[in-house]
Amino acid sequence: GDYETKKRLRATHEGQQRAAGTLSAHRQLYERPFPLYKQPVEVGCFSLDSRRVFCNDPRQLRYYVQPAQSPGFDLRDGYTSRFVKRDDSVKEKLDHVLRWILANRDKIQTRVQTSSSSALGVDFVTWRGHLTKVLTTPYETHEGWMLAASRFRGSIYISEVETEAARVNRETRSERQEEMMYWGYKFEQYLCADDVDGTPDPGGVVNTNEAFCTVVQTRLADHTLLFSGEVDCRVKDPDAPPAPGCYVELKTSAEICTPKQRSNFHRYKLLKWWAQSFLPGVPQIVAGFRDHDGIVVGVETIPTSKISHLIKNEYNCWKPTVCMNFCNDFLSFVKSVVTEDNPRVVYLFTWDPHRDVSFTVHRDSQYTFLPEWYIRDTSS
C-alpha cells in the first residue's frame, strides 16, 4: 500500500544522499507534518533607485490604493513611450543584500543562547526569490536551477547562477513576451501611490530599476535565515500591523473563463504566488485578471493564508508542507556539503526537472560571488 511505497522511497532517498551526495526532489518523500517556520520579522529594508543604486532607506516604498472591482486598466499603455527597463543581463548576485548587511550589522538579531558559531549569527543569507525556487522544486517540471553557495565566517551565502536554458530564454524573448513582462509593472503603477496621502499616477514612467526590499529574519526548523525580497507596496493605514504584516503583493494573471483555466491557475500560478508571499510573511495578494489585450477585467484580494484552502478541491494538487519540508532538507543538505569556510570556494548546486539535486565544487572560479569589499569589511 501507500505506506510501503513511501518507506521504500525514503530508504532509497537516504541511501542516495549518503552514497552519491545528491538529494531527491520526489514530492512523496516530503509529505510529513509541516515543519516549524517562525513568523518572519522585518529587521530592515532598502531601496534601489531609478538608476539601480542601493539606498539604505525606504524611499521606494509605495502605498496601496484599492481599485474598482472591474477597473478596465490598460496594461499596454506606455510600453513604447514611458518605460525604462532594467538591464537584466547585469548579474547583481547578493550585492544589494550584502550592502544592507554592512550598513546594518547592529540590526541583525542573534539568538540569546546562540549555538551558531557564525559572526552574523545566522545560518543562511540569500534572496527570497532563490528560496521561492527551492520551495516549488518538487512540483516544477520545466525550469531547473543552479544555486551557488559559499561559507564565510560560519554563515552560508546562497546566490543564483543563471542556467544556460534561462540565458537562451532571456536572449530570445519574443516581442509579445517582452511586452507582457511590462504588464505586471504597469498594473503596480495603477494601484500604487508614492505617498501615504497620494493617488496613483498612470501617466508617469514605469521604471523597473526601482525597487523597495524588505529584509527579514526567520527560522525553518534548525535553520536560521536572513533574506531580502522585493515588496510591491503597503496599506496606507498607519494602524496596520507592523511590517511585513502591512505589505501587499500585486499580481496579474490571465482571466479565468473555463474550469480548465481555473484548475491551471490553482495548480501552477497559486503555487508560485503562495511560495513568494508566504516566505517573507506578506499576508495579502491583490490579483488583477486581464484579457488577451492587457485590459484588467477583474481584481480580487487573496489572503496568502487562504491559498492552501482554495486549492484543496484540485485532484493531486501541490501541498505547502511538501514545499517546506523539501526546503528544510535542501538546507540541511547544503549545510552538510558546504563545509570549507572560504569565500573563494563555491559549491554549485544544480537541479533539473526529473533529476536529483547534485553539486560540484569550484575554487577561485567564475562562480565566486562574495565581493572583495564585503570580505574585507566584515573581516575587520
Residue 213 found at the interface with Mg ion (CB under 5 A)? no
Which does residue 252 touch among Mg ion, ligand A3P, none (CB within 5 to 8 A, set by kind)? Answer: ligand A3P
Which does residue 330 touch among Mg ion, ligand A3P, none (CB within 5 to 8 A, set by kind)? Answer: none
Please choose, out of 64-72, 140-148, 184-192, 342-350, the segment that lies near ligand A3P by the rule CB under 6 A. Answer: 184-192
Q: How far is the CB of 32 from ligand A3P (least distance, A)?
A: 29
Please choose, out of 78-86, 179-187, 195-203, 256-264, the segment that lies near ligand A3P by the rule CB under 6 A. Answer: 179-187
b (16+ CB within 10 A) / e for 312-344: eeeeebbbbebbbbbbbbbbbbbbebbeeeebe
Which does residue 185 touch among Mg ion, ligand A3P, none (CB within 5 to 8 A, set by kind)? Answer: ligand A3P
DSSP 2-23: HHHHHHHHHHHHHHHHHHHS-B
DSSP 124-170: EEEEHHHHHHHHHGGG-SS--EEEEEEEETTEEEEEEE--HHHHHHH
Tell me the sheet residues that pair with 345.
363
CB 217 within 8 A of CB 117: no
CB 159 within 8 A of CB 94: yes
User: What sign for the dihedral angle of Cα 250, 97, 52, 41?
Assistant: positive
Q: What's at 105, amino acid-wise?
A: R
CB 285 within 8 A of CB 273: yes
CA angle (225, 161, 216) in 5-degree steps? 20
How many residues bind ligand A3P (CB under 6 A)? The answer is 8
Please choose, out of 157-165, 166-174, 227-235, 344-352, the segment that lies near Mg ion by the rule CB under 5 A. Answer: 227-235
Residue 232 found at the interface with ligand A3P (CB under 6 A)? yes
Residue 140 found at the interface with Mg ion (CB under 5 A)? no
Q: How far is the CB of 55 from Mg ion (least distance, A)?
A: 17
User: Residue of minimal CB distance from ligand A3P?
Assistant: 184
Residue 73 found at the interface with ligand A3P (CB under 6 A)? no
Which member of 73, 127, 185, 359 binds ligand A3P (CB under 6 A)?
185
Residue 230 found at the interface with Mg ion (CB under 5 A)? yes
Residue 317 found at the interface with ligand A3P (CB under 6 A)? no
- Spell out, one character per residue from 343 to 372, where the chain touches ligand A3P: x when CB under 6 A holds, - when not: ------------------------------
Residues 231-290 close enough to bind Mg ion by CB under 5 A: 232, 250
Non-local CB neighbours of 153 within 8 Å, separated by 6+ positions? 118, 119, 120, 341, 378
b (16+ CB within 10 A) / e for 248-271: bbbbbbeebeeeeeebbbbbbebb
Q: How far is the CB of 249 from ligand A3P (least distance, A)?
A: 7
What grid cell was written down for 20? 552519491
Q: How far is the CB of 325 from ligand A3P (least distance, A)?
A: 24
Residue 130 found at the interface with ligand A3P (CB under 6 A)? no
Q: How far apart are CA 344 and CA 228, in angstroms?
A: 23
Please choose, out of 32-40, 180-188, 349-357, 370-378, the segment that lies near ligand A3P by the rule CB under 6 A. Answer: 180-188
Residue 181 found at the interface with ligand A3P (CB under 6 A)? yes
Residues 240-269 close enough to bind ligand A3P by CB under 6 A: 251-252
CA angle (42, 45, 51) in 5-degree steps? 155
Q: How far apart are CA 97 and CA 16, in angstroms?
A: 34
**Where does this chain bind Mg ion (CB under 5 A)?**
230, 232, 250
**Where does this chain bind ligand A3P (CB under 6 A)?**
181, 183-185, 187, 232, 251-252
